Amino acid sequence: MASQSCYQQDHNEQNGLKHSQVAILMVPFPLQGHLNQILHLSCLLTSYEISLHFAGSTTHNHQAKLRIQGWNSRNLSTIHFHDFQLPPFTCFSPDPSAPIKFPGHLQPLFHACTHLRGPMSQLLQDLSTKFRRVIVIHDTLMASVVQDVKHISNAESFALQSVSAFTVFLYIWDSMKEKPFEMDPKMIPCIPSSQGCFTPEFANFIAKEYKILDFESGRLFNTCRLLEGKYMELLEKLPINTNKKLFAIGPVHPIELTGKNNGCSKHKCLEWLDKQEKNSVLYVSFGTTTSMSDDQIKELAAGLESSRQKFIWVLRDADKDDVFTENKARSPELPKGYEKRVKNRGMVVRDWAPQLEILGHTSTGGFMSHCGWNSSIESITMGVPMAAWPMHSDQPRNAVLITQVLKIGIAVRNWAQREELVKGETVENVVKRLMASSEGEEMRKRAEEIGSIVRGAVADGGQNCCQNGQEGQKSAQVAVVMVPLLAQGHLNQFLHLSHHLVASYGIPVHYAGSAIHNRQAKLRFHGWEPETSNRIEFHDLQLPPYSSPSPNPNAPTRFPAHLQPLFNASMQLRKPLFQVFQDLSTKFRRIVIIHDSTIGSIVQDVKLIPNAEAYMLVPTSVFHTFTGIWEILSEKPFQLDPDIPTNIPSSEGCFTPEISDFVYKQMEFLDFQSGRLLNTCRVIEARHLELLERLPIYGNMKTFAIGPLNPVEIRRTSEKQRHECLEWLDKQEEDSVIYVSFGSTTAMTDEQITELAKGLEQSGQKFIWVLRKADKGDVFTGDEEGRPQLPKGYEERVKDWGIVVRDWAPQLEILGHPSTGGFMSHCGWNSCIESISMGVPVAAWPMHSDQPRNATLLTEVLRIGLLIKDCVHLAELVTSDTIEDAVRSLMTSQEGEEMKKKAAKLGGAVRASVADGGNSRLEMDSFIAHITR
């Protein structure tokens, strides 16, 4: 109990404010606007007392720190900067005469940065050994550099979009040949062409990075829903974002600048601004990637001068790849005597200017900008209207957002005329409209209103304050909701997992199913302390009426088709389940839905709940899952080793067409889960688990092998509660009894029951035979017909060495009893893994579903069983002679003795894997750490 209480203490600390066990690694793209956003976010996160790491090239880390503004020096001092060396690359100066204004001279730098993958991967590995959890926040254009995060079990990544939600949505929408939904035309104004926005080289670079970008757990946007809510909603509706969490966490830059100049002296332009009247100054700046031609600079100068409006103009050439090298490029020239002529109303700044402080100054009343997203959202936040003059990249569409959607700016020129010179007269007219007209005054009022709303969004209690993680006023706990398929083997696995989470980790568990099947699950459950069950909250949902026919033992396919009406009816649980999710989401910091892989459609609404995430529990062996996927791949992604079995049983006869269609339809919905749980362990299925993780559809998803879920140490129940078959077993010799059971979904014909009875009798071996009909859709409805019949006088004849159980039997306790030496089984995965964990060899008699492949795993891969009937002869009668031979081979032959030894050894290893420090326990601990992060 001491170790459990210690773990629960850690769990509670993890759910609270103990962040020291989490590290965040920030990975920016080496352009000033991108560096700036990620460093702003880093400074913002320092207030949460999380270990912050900022990784980039030495040059660009230095550049980012030198140019950051608005934060106290202690914010930067708590960030760990990791300086990497770039390989040598060619350096070019910007070309102001290039037909495309995108800074193509930086392309060699971008390619050089892709070589940071190796050192970045090493840094991730190092951090993962020092922290319980590592979160990577990376620029979308650095996907190739951070892609190895998917190989680190305690790490996950979030991509930061460096542009507006409006622009991201439009680029994706434009690229879609088939639109997934109809759009209100008012939502999409006249959108500029993307022609001329990028060089072909950079467009290819973007495409390659986005192709790799399929491993992130979510995306962060430097915007807020009060500003771009409708476009965030449209992004969330797109199929590519179905399983992604999208967080609007902006603006990430500081919004209150008073006293945040880091102790440095005031920039001269701010002193000049102090002397000007309110809203009287136009700020002119085109960012760090724009190079204007000499002719355009002269026209802009002439327009500003003739407008007679006050201005601050930041006139610098575009950044080179290394801003600290001696710059031999031109210094932009102004007309002769210009600065002297305008000195009473204008100021030209030729070095770095404190843009945030300029925009936040009361004297600033307008901003002529290139409409980079950093500049745009800074201007919006400070309530300053804009004269939009986009140059390249996302800027033309940001300009549309500002001028046509938000209506807080005017366009300097149409994007279609981007290659034409903007005349001084045009500049003059725009400046006067923005700064000295009633139209401009209305824009200023609207900009101030929007700015106030945006600033409110990041204030304490504001919408984005909550998006940034300060929903801590809710309960600090995490709750888990279990949603099983309504069939006994599935109900059982989920209830075992529920008990694990409650007993070992103290996590609140809610078990949601139909009232009938919750009752069934609880009634048949065994192996755990009763008080553990009392700590699970069951949600009894009502199914619509459905037929509950009896099983048909004469059906050509052994799959329990009589349960199909139940499965169809369970699809109506979507709405009540969503209500459960919504109710719990208001009471817990996070809710985690663990659902059966075959019921994706009824839990799909989890993606609509911001503080919820889903994990799929796969109820079958990894061997079955891998081989099922492998056989349908037309192009194999890799070669299998020669010793991997390839002679796999056909799936023909395993399912009815109706259940196959049902499963395939459910699989179509499984694009929202955050990971997969497997009821197996690496001791049993390491090789096939590795193969599964190599498959493209599995490789980027968190996978946790946390089985066996059943208890492996069976506590003796009280004599009053003990089943009579256990008392009979107590009187038998060690390993002398074969346990015979075919699960809850198998219906045998009378003829087959007779042959099985004869075979067991002829073998002369001791046995416990559970002889019951297959479950109906409602096991509590009366059904007297079709009770399995034995040959006349059979039970009397075998009473000295055999016992027939007609009701529910405690399988785990039977398998764990020292007298049990073999198991004749249908090879359902629950029965298989229970038998494996108890060290009992199996006589494999598969009937349907995954059972034939599970039988192959037991007999050919693990070699702890023998096959009674192969899948080719599934429909044939198994004679008593065959059964007699199989029982004797398993129980009394040298071959059987070797199987028992191998099974006992494997069982010991499996039991060790779930003990403290064992492989499965560590994976379960990792999963718990992940969901309580």
The one catalytic residue among 11, 19, 34, 595: 34
Report in angstroms the alpha-carbon separations of 56 from 61, 164, 438. Answer: 6, 24, 47
d(CA 372, CA 392): 9
Is 641 an active-site residue?
no
Q: Are 245 and 217 in contact (CB under 8 A)?
A: yes
The one catalytic residue among 10, 139, 605, 735: 139
Q: What is the DSSP string of 476-540?
A: S-EEEEEE--SSHHHHHHHHHHHHHHHHHH---EEEEEEHHHHHHHHHH--SS-HHHHHTEEEEE
Q: Are 478 and 932 in contact (CB under 8 A)?
A: yes
Residue 863, Ramachandran bin (φ over 0: left; ψ between -120 and 50: alpha; else beta): left
d(CA 777, CA 783): 12
Compute the radius of gyration of the chain from its Cα atoms.
34
End-to-end CA, the chain: 24
61 HSE (CA, 13 A, CB side): 18
d(CA 118, CA 265): 41
Judging by DSSP bridges, how do beta strands 766-770 and 737-741 pair with one another? parallel
User: Phi and psi for 775 in degrees, rounded to 5?
Assistant: -60, 145
d(CA 912, CA 494): 22
Query: What would you measure as the largest C-alpha separation in the chain, in angstroms?
Result: 120
* Token pair in block for residue 418: 């981007």
User: Phi and psi for 727 in degrees, rounded to 5?
Assistant: -65, -40
Residue/partner pairs of 255-262 with CB below 8 Å, 24 or more apart: 255/381, 255/382, 255/454, 255/455, 255/458, 257/70, 257/356, 257/357, 257/360, 260/69, 260/70, 260/71, 260/72, 261/69, 261/354, 261/357, 262/69, 262/71, 262/72, 262/73
* Token pair in block for residue 341: 């002529």
| Residue (of 101, 276, 269) closest to 199 by Cα position | 101
Is 34 an active-site residue?
yes
Burial (CB count within 10 angstroms: exposed 0-12, middle 13-18, buried 19+), residue 787: exposed
d(CA 910, CA 375): 59
Residue 751, Ramachandran bin (φ over 0: left; ψ between -120 and 50: alpha; else beta): alpha
Q: Are 807 and 788 in contact (CB under 8 A)?
A: no
| Residue (of 379, 512, 354) closest to 434 by Cα position | 379
Q: Are 581 and 606 in contact (CB under 8 A)?
A: yes
What are the respective helix, strand and coil percentages of the chain, to the nearest 5? 45, 15, 40
Q: Are 890 and 899 in contact (CB under 8 A)?
A: yes
Name residue, tokens 């096939």.
688
Helix or strand or coil: residue 317? coil
Burial (CB count within 10 angstroms: exposed 0-12, middle 13-18, buried 19+), residue 193: exposed
Q: Are 884 and 763 in contact (CB under 8 A)?
A: yes
The secondary structure of residue 401, as a DSSP letter, is: I
Q: Are 859 and 871 in contact (CB under 8 A)?
A: no
CB atoms within 10 A of CB 190: 8
Name every residue whose Cβ is closer than 8 Å to that of residue 899 and which is 6 or more positions away in sequence.
Answer: 841, 863, 864, 865, 866, 890
Q: Which residues are catalytic?
A: 34, 139
